[in-house]
Amino acid sequence: EQNGVAPDVAEQITDDLYSFSNYGFPESHAWSFALIAYATAYLKAHYPAEFLMAILNAWPMGFYPPATLVHEARRNGVMVRPPCLRDGEWECTLESPSTDPAGEHAIDPASEPADEPG
C-alpha cells in the first residue's frame, strides 16, 4: 500500500516470486552447466592436446588423477611425453599440437613409470 500497490496484488507478486524461486535457480544452474559442458566437450574434441595441457595445469581441481587424464588423451591420439626433471617446466607445456610433455607437478609419487616416447 505504501507504494500504491494493493495488498492483494503485492501478495500475488510475492507468491509468484516464491514459486519462481522453486525452479528458477535450478533452471539457470542447469543452463550454465550445460554451456560449460558443451564448451569442454568442444575443446576436448577439437583441441585434445591443448585441453589436456590446460586440465593438467589446473590439477588438482577435477575428479580424475593425472594418469587417467593422460590415458584418455593417449586414447584420443595425443602423444604425452614423461616429465623431464632436468630441463622440464613445473607446468605442462605444448611442443606441437599433438605432443604434450607432462610438467613435474603432474607426477604422482605412487604412479608407475611413464611410457617412453616413440
Phi/psi at 3 (5° precision): -100, 15
Q: Distance (Å, rounded) from C-alpha 91 to C-alpha 100?
A: 11
Q: pLDDT (tens digit, 9 = 90+) per residue, 11-45?
A: 888 888 877 777 666 767 778 888 889 998 999 88
DSSP letter at 84 equals -
Q: Which pLDDT score, from 0 to 100, does residue 118 have?
A: 46
Confidence band for 109, pLDDT divided at 50, 70 and 90: very low
pTM: 0.53
Average pLDDT over residues 97-115: 50
